[in-house]
Structure 1
Amino acid sequence: MTSRLSFATLDQARPAARRPALDPRAMSTGSVHLGVGAFHRAHQAVFTEDAMAAAGESGWGIHAVTQRSARVAEQLDPQDGLYGVLTCGLDGAGEPERSLRIVGAVRAVSFPGEQTGEVLARLAAPTTHLVTLTVTEKGYRRSGDRLDLRDEGVQADLAALREERRTGTAVETAAGSPIGMLARGLARRAHGAATPMSVVCCDNIVHNGPMVGRLVSEFLLAAGADGAAAWVADHVTFPATMVDRIVPATTAAERAAAEAISGLQDEGLVVAEPYRQWVIEDSFAGPRPAWERAGATLTSDVAPFEEAKLRILNGTHSYLAYRGALLGHATIAEAVTDAGLGAEVSAFIDHDVIPTLTPPPGVDLGQYRDSVLERFANPALGHTTQQVAMDGSQKLPVRLLGTAADRLTAGAIPERTARAVAAWMVFVARAADGSSPLVLDDPQAEVLGAAVAGAASGAALADRLLDLEQIFPPALAGDERFRSAVREQVTDLA
């Protein structure tokens, strides 16, 4: 029977598997990550381990926190936090090429359902200087741009913090939301360690850092913790970031491939493409890892990088997901290599997206477009259209609707963006009525299903969805040029 990856078996790993960049047993914990999933393990954790190795530091080990289940803890705890990153690319001849590295930067994993007290203590500890987050768009429990104070999880966290303030004793009620857990930890820090902290959001949300800062402030004020809110405003920074690496779901075949390389069983394996990018606003309240020595870009202005990535890469990803799924393509690679669809998305980028962008320093947007489409065509990743299609109501506003609004402001009708939006609408309709294998996996699934039920025509379907103000800003939905273009495209696709 194959041995499982752990400290006890690490030395048994075959030479083809790259070992951790430094001894994980020598690391101390200096950061907390909320929302540990495949992306964090393939992205920020790798950057952090490489930064420690490059700078000769060992104090940035990560205390990782799961979200809705203990699954990642159950994967990594028996492995002493070790896991592999299987990089899947193509060689010079276009043939699949794989490499495996073992990462040791994650030094502890907690499940809030059972270990909220442990997480809060770590957030409040003076040795913790940094929090990073990847909780997905819907994890922030927002209503519009504000914290949804009616959300049950947020309400549970508010009640816990109010009780803690009333009694002056620690309340370790299980955290109900990532923002609630973070704010509860910061409130303890304000009255305890009182050392500065940096909170780094790594989700694909416009102005993600300031957004998290605003939600934390709203939570603390709603809990009556005005003093903690004032302390956070003075001692905690929320740098904006842009992250980029494609990290598809891990399959049994990839687990077998990794085991063949290392000779060890790895329940925590993640899969990623070779490419990785991290752009971070250089706005920190205290110490941080030397991420720039691991290839990250530190800048005074993330916005141009962020907008180019969200609109070119993420916008195109969504376009391919919905349009590709409607055409019967199972993966993004199949969709982008469909000659007709490939031409569609190239025209979308060239005619609608690039004219709205300011090129980031040192970036040629045409070359960036080509690199994005080449990455999407990597068949080794197996990124499914259904996977990318998830949570469309959360993704459309940041990936597509800003492009549409900017083109309309410039006096141009964004026909190709309208087609991408229309593909989402037809996808929603077919998934909601059960007429296809498509699945509507979306936090607004009930609202969307009710909106599309019984739509007698493409125009009616377009109008019903455009009228959902929680997705479409009234100024955009009310622009007859855009509405007409979407109606026309929905009619064509339906």
Structure 2
Amino acid sequence: AAVAKKTHDEPTWVHFGAGNIFRAFPAAILNDALNTGKYDRGVIVAESFDYEIIDKAYRPYNNLSLLVSLQSNGTIEKKVIASITESLKADKQFGEDWARLVQIFQAPTLQMVTFTITEKGYSFNDADLARGLDAVFAMGKLTALLYERYKAGKLPLTLQSTDNCSHNGDHVKAGVKAYAERWAQDGIVEAGFVDYINDSSKITYPWSMIDKITPR
């Protein structure tokens, strides 16, 4: 309860992509850190595509998961993953969830946003760019939330893709840049927002990878 409250009040990490990879690896690592006292806050998960997973796999179980691992010696290890403190649907049609995401992105304590949304999740097209702040693709929603962070004081943030694709951080940057530039061109956002998302002292897009599978 103390971890959940601290995470709610002073969030540091949001993850987009509520599937098995996230629960079995990033959330499990944080779970170990919490259990050993190395960290004091959980992770907030947001799903921008398959909203049903929040209703079926997260909220009925208080955001807890059971990780079952087959060891090299044939034994089975079971571990409860309790590091996920909130699960949110990342879309404006879910008003309370979206308002909470805006609040999180405005928080000075937020340090990192990570992604397991598959390579297709970083795509965008002209139709979605034209939707402005009501974009429905993941990178458009992310950019809309980043604009809230920009307006809250141009606060810094790391955008960390962990999807298994080459130069994955560049996929995030390309998407955010495309939306920001189009919106600035259309007069939807301030011109300074484009400078903000391109300023490496404010927003960073590192490369990384998780080369693992998690069967259902």
Pairwise TM-score range, normalised by the shorter structure: 0.7 to 0.9
* Distance change >3 Å, CA 27–CA 88, structure 1 → 2: farther
CA offsets per residue over residues 315-369 of structure 1, 9 Å max, x none? xxxxxxxxxxxxxxxxxxxxxxxxxxxxxxxxxxxxxxxxxxxxxxxxxxxxxxx
- Contact between 1:126 and 1:194, CA under 8 Å: does it hold in 2? no
Q: CA deviation at 1:79?
A: 1.9
Mapped to 1, the partners of 2:51 and 2:107 lie a distance apart of 23
Structure 1 residues 134 and 229: alpha-carbon distance in aligned structure 2, compared to 1, 3 A threshold: same
2:164–2:211 Cα contact (<8 Å) kept: no
Matches within 5 A, 1:53-452: 53-54=35-36, 56-59=38-41, 61-74=42-55, 75-91=57-73, 96-113=74-91, 114=94, 115-141=97-123, 148-152=124-128, 154-156=129-131, 158=132, 160=133, 173=134, 176-224=136-184, 225=189, 226-234=191-199, 235-249=202-216
Rounded to whole Å, the distance in 2 between the matches of 1:227 and 1:194 is 10
CA–CA distance in 1 between the matches of 2:144 and 2:89?
Answer: 16
Aligned: 1:38 with 2:20: yes
The 3-state SS of whatever aligns with 1:232 is: helix
- Structure 1 residues 27 and 46, CA gap change in structure 2 (3 angstroms): farther
Q: Which structure is higher in RCO with an 8 Å CA cutoff and minimum separation 6?
A: 2
Deviation of 1:236 after TM superposition, in Å, equals 0.8
CA contact (8 A) 2:20 2:214 kept: yes
Change (3 A) 1:177 1:233: same
Distance 1:116 1:237 in 2: 23
AA aligned to 2:78 is: L
Residue type of the alignment partner of 1:67: S
| 1:6-38 C-alpha deviation (Å, 9 max, x unpaired) | x8xxxxxxxxxxxxxxx7546523111111111
Distance between the aligned counterparts of 1:25 and 1:216, measured in 2?
30
| Cα separation, 2, equivalents of 1:193 and 1:105 | 29
Whose Rg is larger? 1
Equivalent-residue separation in structure 1 for 2:54 and 2:167 (angstroms): 30
Whether the 8 Å CA contact 2:122–2:171 is kept in 1: the answer is no
Quick one: which amino acid aligns to residue 208 of structure 2? T
Residues 122 and 139, structure 2, Cα contact 8 Å, conserved in 1: yes
Contact 1:120 1:184 in 2 (8 A): no
- In structure 1, how many angstroms separate the alpha carbons of the residues matched to 2:75 and 2:126? 49
- Secondary structure class of the residue paired with 1:229: helix
Contact 1:125-1:193 within 8 A present in 2 as well? no
- Conserved in 2, the CA contact under 8 Å of 1:123 and 1:182? no
Matched letter for residue 39 of structure 1? I
**Higher percent of residues as strand:** 2
Q: Which amino acid counterpart does residue 46 of structure 1 have in structure 2?
A: A
**Which SS does the other structure have where 1:101 is aligned?**
strand
Normalised by the size of structure 1, how large is the TM-score? 0.38
Structure 2 letter corresponding to 1:89: Q
Give the Å deviation of 1:228.
1.0
Measure the CA separation in 1 of the matches of 2:98 and 2:4.
Answer: 25
| Residue 39 (structure 1) shift | 0.7
Q: Which runs of 5+ in 1 are unaligned?
A: 1-6, 8-22, 142-147, 161-172, 250-494
- CA-to-aligned-CA distance 1:296-332 (integer Å, 9 cap, x gap): xxxxxxxxxxxxxxxxxxxxxxxxxxxxxxxxxxxxx
Contact 2:105 2:146 in 1 (8 A): yes
Aligned pair in 2 of structure 1 residues 126, 193: CA closer, same or farther (>3 Å)? Answer: farther
**Structural RMSD (CA):** 2.2
The Cα offsets for residues 391-423 of structure 1, whole Å up to 9 and x where unpaired, read as xxxxxxxxxxxxxxxxxxxxxxxxxxxxxxxxx
Higher helix share: 1
What SS does the aligned partner of 1:242 have?
coil
Alignment of 1:12-23 (within 5 A): none
Per-residue deviation, 1:207: 0.8
- Report if the CA contact (8 A) 1:86-1:99 is conserved: yes
Contact 1:67–1:111 at 8 Å: present in 2 too?
yes
CA gap 1:104/1:26 in 2 versus in 1, 3 angstroms: farther
Count of residue pairs the alignment pairs up: 201
Q: What secondary structure does 2:50 align onto? A: coil
CA distance in 1, matches of 2:157, 2:37: 21
1:101 deviates by: 0.4
Per the TM alignment, residue 116 of structure 1 is displaced from its structure 2 partner at its CA by 2.6
AA matched with 1:204 = N
CA distance in 1 between counterparts of 2:156 and 2:115 reads 17
